[in-house]
Amino acid sequence: MTRRRAALLALFTMVALSPAPAAQAADEGPEQIVNGTFDTGTAPWWGTGNVTLAVDDGRLCADIPGGTTNPWDVIIGQNDLPLVAGETYAYRFFATATPGRVGRALIQLPVDPYTQYLAAAPEMSVSGNSYTYTFTAPVSLPDAQAVFQLGGSPEPWRFCMDDVSLKGGAEPEVYEPDTGPRVRVNMVGYLPTGPKKATVVTEATTPLDWQLKNAAGTTVARGRTTPRGVDASSGHNVHTLDFGTYRKPGKGYTVTADGETSRPFDIAADLYAQLPTDALKFYYTQRSGIEILDSLRPGYGRPAGHVGVAPNQGDVSVPCQPGVCDYSLNVKGGWYDAGDHGKYVVNGGISAFQLMAAYERDKTAFKDGQLNIPESGNGRPDILDEARWEQEFLLSMQVPDGKPDAGMAHHKIHDQNWTGLPLLPHLDPQLRELHPTSTAATLNLAATSAQAARLFAPYDAAFAARNLTAARKAWAAAKANPERYADPTDGTGGGAYNDNDVSDEFYWAAAELYLTTGEREFKDFVLASPHHTGDIWRDRGFDWGNTAQLGRLDLATVPNALPDRARVRKSVVEGAEKYLAIQRAHPYGLAYDPPDFDWGSNNLVLNNLVVIATAYDLTGQEKYRAAVREGMDYLLGRNALNQSYVTGYGEVASKNQHSRWYARQLDPALPNPPRGTLSGGPNSSIQDPLAQRLLQGCAPQFCYVDDIESWSTNELTINWNSPLAWVSAFLTDEGGRSDCRVRYTAFGSRPFTAQVVIENTGRHSVDGWDLRWSFLSGQRVRDDWGASLSQSGSVVTAKGLGANSRIKPGKSVTFGFTGTNTSGPNPAPEVFHLNGARCG
Terminal CA-CA length for the chain: 41
448 contacts 347 by C-beta, under 8 angstroms: no
* CA 608 centroid distance within chain: 14
pLDDT in tens, 600-616: 999 999 999 999 999 99
CA-based angle 554:387:385, to the nearest 5?
125
In 3D, which of 72, 663, 1, 606 has the Cα closest to residue 336?
A: 1
DSSP string of 241-304, one letter each residue: EE-TT----EEEEEEEETTEEPPPEEE-TTTTSSHHHHHHHHHHHTBSSS-B-TTTSTT--BPP
Q: Residue 650 and residue 262: Cα distance in Å, rounded?
A: 12
What pLDDT, in 10s, does the model give residues 300-338?
A: 999 999 999 999 999 999 999 999 999 999 999 999 999
Q: pLDDT confidence of 25, banded at 50, 70, 90?
A: very low
∠ Cα 808 810 812 (to 5°): 70
- Which of 236, 306, 426, 658 is an active site residue? 658
Average pLDDT over every residue of 408-416: 97
What is the secondary structure of 701-727 as a DSSP string? Answer: GG-----TT-TTTSB--HHHHHHHHHH
| Banded model confidence at residue 113, pLDDT cuts 50, 70, 90 | confident
E-state strands within 84-225: 88-98, 101-102, 104-108, 116-120, 123-124, 129-136, 141-149, 157-168, 183-184, 189-190, 197-201, 209-213, 219-224
Interatomic CA distance for residues 51 and 156, integer angstroms:
11
Q: For residue range 781-839, what is the model confidence (pLDDT) as tens digits? A: 999 999 999 999 999 999 999 999 999 999 999 999 999 998 889 999 999 999 989 99
Let me know if 340 is a catalytic residue.
Answer: yes
Q: From CA 568, how far away is CA 532, in angstroms rounded?
A: 8
Of the residues 340, 382, 707, 784, only one is catalytic, namely 340
Decide: 598 and 540 in contact? Cβ < 8 Å: yes
Over residues 34-81, the pLDDT tens digits come to 999 999 999 999 999 999 999 999 999 999 999 998 899 999 999 999
Between CA 504 and CA 607 the distance in angstroms is 16
From 368, 504, 707, 715, the catalytic residue: 715
DSSP string covering 135-166:
EE-SS-EEEEEEEEE----SS-EEEEEEEEEE
Give SS3 for 31. strand
Residue 10 binned pLDDT confidence (cut-offs 50, 70, 90)? very low
Strand partners, 231: 236
pLDDT digits (tens, 9 = 90+) for 726-782: 999 999 987 678 899 999 999 987 899 999 999 999 999 999 999 999 999 999 999
pLDDT (0 to 100) of residue 432: 97
Under the banding of pLDDT at 50, 70 and 90, the label for residue 136 is: confident
Residue 70: helix, strand or coil by DSSP?
coil
Active-site residue, from 706, 707, 709, 784: 706
pLDDT band at 18; cut points 50, 70, 90: very low
The Cα 168–Cα 159 span in angstroms is 27
pLDDT at 735: 64
When pLDDT is cut at 50, 70 and 90, the band that residue 206 belongs to is very high
At residue 27, the pLDDT reads 66
Has 539 been annotated as catalytic? no
Phi/psi at 507 (5° precision): -65, -45
Q: What is the pLDDT of residues 333-358, one digit of tens each?
A: 999 999 999 999 999 999 999 999 99
715 is annotated as an active-site residue: yes
Using an 8 Å Cβ cutoff, are 109 and 145 in contact?
Answer: yes
Contacts of 310 (CB under 8 A, 6+ apart): none
